[in-house]
Amino acid sequence: MDLSPRVWPGDQREVQPGNLDLFTPMGSGLSGAVFPIRPWESLDRPSPGQYYAYQEPSAHPLKGAPATEPSGGCVYFGGTPRREDFLTLLRLMGVWIHGSNYLVFAEQAQDPQDERYLVQLRVMSRFALGHLFKIKIGDDECRQGLELPELLWRFVEDQQEFWGTGMNAPNLRGAMGGDGDYAKEELCFGLLVENAYWRVFRIWSRAWLVTK
């Protein structure tokens, strides 16, 4: 995969698309659009345009669901998913970008116990880059060699190979504060639909504590 830089070249904006410490809001952000007032509506009622405003991320299990999408959100799963199950999960969560034109940003945790991840990827359509960050690029500037589902599966495989999948994987020792005896770490993953409308997704490897 071709990784995009954390700081966009020549760009001094405060919020960068490669800053993975921040999360994009949900929704289309079309609240500024002009909608006609229909005869039965009152002028003091909220404009229909407000229905499609951005929605801030929320950890509330019910209120955190996207208001304008049927699927999305966040899911955690174990370190050895079957390929067919993983691809089904992507379809159910609405994780897709047409073709292979998208950007990939990556980050490795400095303190996995505190940051709660090992390695993470943010995948973003070029339309998201343009509408959310006001950076315009062409198709050829973000063409990847793989379609999105295959790239995400390759990430899972690469993390499995690097960290190992059993609870005795030496590279994971202490990642969540385990002592290597009573409490040992094992690989697992997280998947997030940051913005379904503009196509921003995130996947990360993580560790969980296994007790004897």
Of residues 54 and 86, more confidently modeled: 86
Say what the pLDDT of residue 27 is: 85
Say what the pLDDT of residue 30 is: 73
DSSP-assigned states of every residue in 92-112: HHT---STTBEEEEEEE-S-H
> Both tokens of residue 95?
């994780």
- The set of residues, in sequence order, having a beta carbon less than 8 Å from that of 8 and lying 6+ positions away, is 16, 17, 18, 133, 135
CB 108 within 8 A of CB 118: yes
Q: Enumerate the domain spans of the chain.
A: 48-56+69-211
| pLDDT, tens digit, 9 for 90 and up, residues 80-117 | 999 999 999 999 999 999 889 999 999 999 999 999 99
**At 43, is the pLDDT very low, low, confident or very high (cuts 50, 70, 90)?**
low
pLDDT at 15 over 70: yes
Say what the pLDDT of residue 46 is: 53
CB 17 within 8 A of CB 135: yes
Instruction: Work out the mean pLDDT of the chain and round it to a whole number.
Output: 88
CB 187 within 8 A of CB 163: yes
pLDDT at 134 over 80: yes
**At 12, is the pLDDT very low, low, confident or very high (cuts 50, 70, 90)?**
confident
> Burial level of 204, CB count in 10 A (0-12/13-18/19+)?
buried
**At 144, is the pLDDT very low, low, confident or very high (cuts 50, 70, 90)?**
very high
Radius of gyration of the chain (CA): 20
Cβ atoms within 10 Å of 10's Cβ, excluding its own: 5
CB 30 within 8 A of CB 37: no
**Sign for the pseudo-dihedral over CA of 167, 169, 175, 179:** positive
Say what the pLDDT of residue 34 is: 54
Specify the range with the lowest mean pLDDT, choosing from 48-52, 107-111, 166-170: 48-52
| pLDDT, tens digit, 9 for 90 and up, residues 17-40 | 999 999 998 888 776 555 555 555
State the Cα–Cα distance between residues 30 and 68, nearest whole angstrom: 12
Phi/psi-derived region of residue 137, left when phi > 0, alpha when psi is between -120 and 50, beta in every other case: beta
Say what the pLDDT of residue 106 is: 97
**At 168, is the pLDDT very low, low, confident or very high (cuts 50, 70, 90)?**
confident
CB 207 within 8 A of CB 176: yes
